[in-house]
Amino acid sequence: MKPSLKEKLSQIFNFSSFSKISGPLVFFLIVIGLIFVMSVIFRVNTIEVIGNEHYTKEEIISAVDIEEGDNLFFFDRFAAISRVFAKLPYVDEVFVSRSLPDKVTIEIKESKALAYLIVGDEKWTMDANCKILGKAAEGEAAQLISVSGINPGTLLIGEPLTVTDYEEIVPYLSEVLTQIQDRGLAGYVRHIDFSNRNSVKFDYTNKYSITIGDAYKVEYKFGMFLAAIDQLKDGDYGEIDVSSAMTAVFTPY
C-alpha cells in the first residue's frame, strides 16, 4: 500500500523537532518542505485531450509543451495556451485544467473551415469569423463556399481576414457566413458574390439565387428568404430578392 501524504510528510520532516526552532524559521522550513513535496509527488501522469478533430492528441500535447513527469503545480497554463494559439491556427478556444494528484486536461474548441478565397492559383480557407486557416488541402475546397468580389490584403494564418479597399466588408462577410453556419445551410450554399457590396448574392441548392443586398438586417433577411422558399413548389427555380428587408420578391427563371 502506498504511504499517504501525511506519512510522506512525516518521513521528510520530524515535526517534533520544530519545538526547538523559532517560529519564523519553522514557517520557512515548512514552506520549503511543501515546495519540495509538490515538486516530488505531484507529477503529471495522465494527459487528456477533449474536443480535437482537425489536430491529433499528440499535436495538441506537443503545442502545449507538456509531458508525463512534468510538475503539476509548476506548469504554466497561460504560457501553454499562448503556445497553442501560435502553433495551431484551427484552435479557436483552449482550456487547460489540473486535477490532483496527477492529471492535466486540455479542452479544445476548433475553428471549422467554411469558405475560401482564391488568391492567384491558391485557395485560402477561413472560418465563419473570417479567420484565415491556411491553404486548402487537396479536395477540401469542394466542400467549402467560394467567396468572390473581395480583394484580400496580406493573408496571415490564424489572423482575421484583411482587405485592400472597403474594411467594413469583412464584418459583413462574417455575418453572412455566421448565418449560413448557424442555420445549417453550409451544405446548400456553394458561392457568395461580394462584387457589389450593396447587392450581395449567393446561390442556394442550385435552384435559387438569393439577393440580400447591403449589410442592413442580415439576420432578418435570411429568415425572409427561408420563409419564401417554404412557399415555393419543388419545380420552382429563380431569384429571391430580400434586399429591401421588407418583402421577398421571387422572379422565376
What gap in Å lies between CA 189 and CA 208, rounded to an integer?
10
What average pLDDT does the chain have?
Answer: 87
With 60 as the cut, is the pLDDT of residue 67 above it? yes
Q: What pLDDT is attached to residue 239?
A: 97
Confidence class of residue 101 from pLDDT cuts 50, 70 and 90? confident
Domains of the chain by start residue, with CATH: 46-110 (3.10.20.310), 115-252 (3.40.50)
Q: What pLDDT is attached to residue 147?
A: 98
Q: What percent of the chain shows pLDDT beyond 70?
A: 84
Give 3-state DSSP helix, strand, coil % of the chain, rounded to 5.
35, 25, 40
* Residue 211 burial by Cβ neighbours in a 10 Å radius (0-12, 13-18, 19+): buried
Average of per-residue pLDDT across 13-31: 60
Q: What pLDDT is attached to residue 19?
A: 53
Between 99 and 249, where is the model more confident?
Answer: 249
Which residues, including other chains, have CB under 8 Å from residue 119's CB and lie 6 or more apart?
Answer: 152, 155
Between 237 and 4, where is the model more confident?
Answer: 237
Residue labelled with grid coordinates 427563371: 253
145-148: strand order across its sheet: 132-135, 122-126, 115-119, 145-148, 191-193, 200-204, 208-213, 238-241, 249-252
What gap in Å lies between CA 47 and CA 203, rounded to an integer?
45
Confidence class of residue 11 from pLDDT cuts 50, 70 and 90? low
